[in-house]
Amino acid sequence: MPGQQTERRSPAYLDIARDLGGEIRRGRFPVGQNLPSERQLATEYGVNRQTVRAALQHLRTQGCVAGDHLGTYVLAPREGRAARPSPGPAPAHAFPGSFLRPARAAAGHGRLLRRQPEHWAAAALELPAGRAALTYDHRLRDTEGRTLQSALSWFAPVLTVLVPQLGRAAWALGEAAAESGQDADLGDLYGWAAAAGLRLRAADSVQLARGTAEHAAPDGLEVRRTIADQHGRPLIGTAFRIADESAELRYADSQAILPGDRQPRPAAAARRIAEPDRAVLSSWASPNAPDRGLALRARIVLACEHASAEDAAGRLGHSAALVAAWRDRFRAGGLQALEASPRRARRRPR
């Protein structure tokens, strides 16, 4: 009615996602265990199942939950490190990277915001002209506060879906802080991408540059880096500005594989089973164990410690999908995720 102010409400699926996220943080749904079914959630929130699916998909992009044919289950929190400068040499393999001479000590600081990309980056990432994109502004400064290297990185929207940790950071940024930005540390981005199955390659171009207010860097060198995955999809564009007296540029391959792709993936360490857990799993997997379902799940986890899901499935005589599902449940929630047996109820024939 005229004269009345209407309250702007967020979409229903976002409200549901926030509520479920809060329940997960409060421990109502333990790590590795299923959320209620889509039908149950739709009834609980008084919405249709499409709205529930959108909420669950949003939680997946934030890295809070994952799904398989057993249902949607809770993941262990994997929050990024707090953004804080650390003295010492700039890490060469952390995102976005460093072109400083090894002897130059520098502290890094990053901010996540939304900014219109430079023309070359918008073209490389196939971003709409004139539209702001998720941006990472990272500076390396010496002990006197002088900027030795600045790096502006723009991300293709699909990367926030492919890499849940980045999606979670983008979600936390919100709209209020999008222009001014907020402190963030994306130094592990290459590792996150590798764990998500992405194999990244970088193509660089180097030119002389003059300092600008935007980059707050002295005259020196500019390196434009475009990063694509194994399918050729452009995902990141970064403009480095390096003070000329500090720069160290070495190129053996203009299409170099990024560090996260040639270093062991962080997930590999999760395959090692702690000895106390191994003892419990071995007891569950005993041929005389009373719970056959639990025994199978224990055998799956033990078989996957030193083998892929496909190889373990061949040895156990079960599908690779089933083996991968229970392996991932154990990695997410430990023994309790196996013991809870989050199976879906069978549908009754109509």
- Domain span at 134: 107-262
List the CATH number of the domain containing 208: 3.40.1410.10
Q: Residue 202: beta bridge partners?
A: 227
**Does one domain contain both 132 and 18?**
no
- State what percent of residues in the chain have pLDDT above 70: 74
Q: Is residue 242 part of a domain?
A: yes
pLDDT tens readout for residues 46-103: 999 888 988 888 888 777 888 877 888 888 765 433 333 333 333 445 788 887 766 5
List the CATH number of the domain containing 24: 1.10.10.10
Are 236 and 227 contacting, i.e. CB atoms less than 8 angstroms apart? yes
Q: What is the number of domains present in the chain?
A: 3
**Does one domain contain both 115 and 196?**
yes
pLDDT tens readout for residues 207-254: 776 555 444 445 668 889 999 988 888 999 999 888 766 666 665 444
Token pair for 75 = 């993941």
3-class DSSP state for residue 60?
Answer: helix
Domain final residue pick, 239, 262, 285: 262
**Does one domain contain both 65 and 149?**
no
**Does one domain contain both 111 and 238?**
yes
Strands (DSSP E) along 156-233, which ranges? 182-183, 201-209, 220-228
Does the structure show a pLDDT above 50 at 7?
no
**Does one domain contain both 290 and 156?**
no
Kindly report whether the peptide bond that precedes residue 96 is cis, defined as omega within 30 degrees of 0.
yes
pLDDT tens readout for residues 293-337: 888 999 999 999 888 888 888 888 888 888 888 888 888 778 878
Q: Is residue 211 part of a domain?
A: yes
Residue 66 parent element (H or E): strand 65-68
**Does one domain contain both 255 and 301?**
no
Q: What is the 3-state secondary structure (H, E, C) of 68-96?
A: ECCEEEECCCCCCCCCCCCCCECCCCCCC
Domain final residue pick, 262, 287, 305: 262
Q: Is residue 309 part of a domain?
A: yes
Question: Nearest 10 degrees: CA dihedral of 182, 187, 193, 194?
Answer: -170
Does the structure show a pLDDT above 80 at 29?
yes
List Cβ neighbours of 120 (8 Å cut-off, separation of 6 or more): 224, 237
Q: Is residue 28 part of a domain?
A: yes
Q: Is residue 162 part of a domain?
A: yes
Does the structure show a pLDDT above 60 at 349?
no
Q: Is residue 93 part of a domain?
A: no
User: Is 228 exposed, middle or buried (CB count within 10 Å of its CB: 0-12, 13-18, 19+)?
Assistant: buried
pLDDT tens readout for residues 256-293: 455 554 444 444 444 678 877 888 888 888 878 788 88
**Does the pTM exceed 0.85?**
no
Q: Give the pLDDT of residue 83.
A: 36
**Does one domain contain both 181 and 303?**
no
Domain final residue pick, 241, 262, 283: 262
What angle separates helix 38-45 from helix 49-61, to the nearest 10 degrees?
110
